[in-house]
Amino acid sequence: MKAAVVDRRGGIPAYRDVPDPEPGEGEVVVTVEAVAVENVDRAIVAGTHYTAAAFQEALPAIPCFDGVGRLSDGTLVGFGGLQPPRGALAERVAVPAVATSPIPEGIEPPVACALATAITGMSMRTAGGLRAGETVLIQGATGVAGRLAVQIARLLGAGRIVATGRDDGALAELVALGADEVITTAVDDDALVEAYRAHAGDGYDVVVDYLWGRPTQLLTQALTPDSFALPEPTRLVHVGEAAGPTIELSGDAVRTSGLEIYGAARNLATGMAAAYGQVVEWVRGGELRIDVTTMPLSRIREAWQRTDLRGSRLVIVPG
Ligand SMILES: NC(=O)c1ccc[n+]([C@@H]2O[C@H](COP(=O)([O-])OP(=O)(O)OC[C@H]3O[C@@H](n4cnc5c(N)ncnc54)[C@H](OP(=O)(O)O)[C@@H]3O)[C@@H](O)[C@H]2O)c1
């Protein structure tokens, strides 16, 4: 069969022949229909992600570790559970049967494999406790996950949605998706702190943070009052670190900003099923639009190097 194989750290996957997967005990063979390529997959191949060691030690290896495919009886399933060197960018994979779950009817495979990204948007409620009418700030809203989060904030009944990004054209698109106000982070530090304050209104109740790094550090400064105050809480849900892996957090900010920081996985153990079901319902009903760009596995080399897909998820399909 064909697969996309990486030979060295930071290499570009090559389309070539590999042996067919041989299922071990408890495993099933899945014919792959769609695999999303995310930042985390590129970072694992580049060796820069904290989980990259297993992939690097297994080289040559196939990237991406989950996707959507069909069992031998035709059932469409999501699959995971792959360990390097075995990855999802292949015509077929052998995975633990317990790591497969049926995809609900009415969801096309390329969209189905991007549902997990939409679930990160649900963290504004599962982890951040968003209530209807509250103000949400979405950091990194021009990306794939952020655009979904803007739509989800609207669907969850947020009162006001403030969205950040770096590109004016992309920020204008966010208004069409449901953002009430936008902030560009492509300004100097003082101007960005001022912008966060100017758009805060009565305060940000929930922040969905795909950025971390400089913009989120400046946000913590913006939330910190200049004189003693008892601010309302701002529940920041940390999802991604597109702008940097660390921030400097001052004692002042901890004491007086009202900032509460939660990981996106908070409450997911109990809230995942409901969040997933809600996202599926919105997608089926056309209320939530997941933008995907499909390319065939045979063109993985070209697909992997694309940099023009801002806001659209790259999904590799058979062919
Ligand atoms: N925990 C999870 O399950 C999960 C799932 C999906 C994503 N994530 C994480 O969430 C983050 C966003 O994912 P995504 O798929 O939406 O990625 P994406 O489509 O590449 O979007 C990245 C976003 O971050 C912005 N950005 C990138 N570098 C920046 C910088 N140096 N300063 C300011 N803004 C910057 C981008 O702005 P431009 O539009 O201007 O480039 C865009 O808004 C990533 O860290 C990803 O790994 C986590």
Q: Domain of residue 47: give its range.
A: 2-114+290-317
pLDDT higher than 90, residue 217: yes
Q: Is the pLDDT score of 288 beyond 80?
A: yes
Note whether 127 and 250 are same-domain residues.
Answer: yes
pLDDT band at 4 (very low <50, low <70, confident <90, very high): very high
Question: In the predicted model, what is the mean pLDDT of residues 121-131?
Answer: 98
For 64-72, what is the mean pLDDT? 97
In terms of domains, do 109 and 123 share one? no
**166 and 262 share a domain?**
yes
User: Mean pLDDT across the stretch 281-290?
Assistant: 96
pLDDT over 90 (residue 173): yes
Task: Answer yes or no: is 274 within a domain.
Answer: no
The pLDDT of residue 310: 86
What pLDDT score was predicted for residue 227? 83
pLDDT at 226 over 80: yes
The average pLDDT across 123-130 equals 98
| Total domains in the fold of the chain | 2
Q: What is the mean pLDDT of the chain?
A: 96
Residue 229 has pLDDT above 80, yes or no: no
Q: What is the mean pLDDT of residues 93-108?
A: 95
- Supply the pLDDT for residue 195: 98
For the entire predicted model, the pTM comes to 0.95
Q: Residue 228: what pLDDT? A: 78
Tell me: pLDDT of 240 over 90: yes
Residues 150 and 262 in one domain: yes
29 strand-pairing partners: 94
Residue 189 has pLDDT above 80, yes or no: yes
Residue 42 scores a pLDDT above 90: yes
Do 137 and 109 lie in one domain? The reply is no
Across 188-194, average pLDDT: 98
**Which value, in Å, is the radius of gyration of the alpha carbons in the chain?**
21
Specify the pairing of strand 76-79 against strand 67-70.
Answer: antiparallel
**Res. 21: pLDDT tops 80:** yes
Cis (ω within 30 of 0) for the bond into 109?
no
Report the candidate in 65, 69, 14 with the shortest Cα–Cα distance to residue 38.
65
Residues 73 and 131 grouped into a single domain: no
For residue 163, how far is its CA from the centre of ligand 1 (angstroms)? 13
Ligand 1 center from residue 143 Cα (angstroms): 5
Quick one: 257 and 123 in the same domain? yes
For residues 291-299, average pLDDT: 98
The answer to whether the beta carbons of residues 10 and 27 sit under 8 Å apart is: no
Both 253 and 136 in one domain: the answer is yes
- Residue 230 has a pLDDT of 81
Question: Is the same domain home to 148 and 194?
Answer: yes
CATH number, domain at 255?
3.90.180.10
Q: What are phi and psi of 162, to 5 degrees?
A: -110, 130
Ligand 1 center–CA 243 separation, angstroms: 7
Domain assignment present for 273: no
Residues 264 and 138 in one domain: yes
Q: Of all protein residues, whose CA lies closest to atom 22 belonging to ligand 1? A: 143
Q: Residues with Cβ within 6 A of ligand 1?
A: 38-40, 117, 120, 140, 142-146, 165-167, 170, 185, 210-211, 215, 239-243, 264, 310
- Compute the average pLDDT of residues 52-77: 97
What pLDDT is stored for residue 251 in this prediction? 94
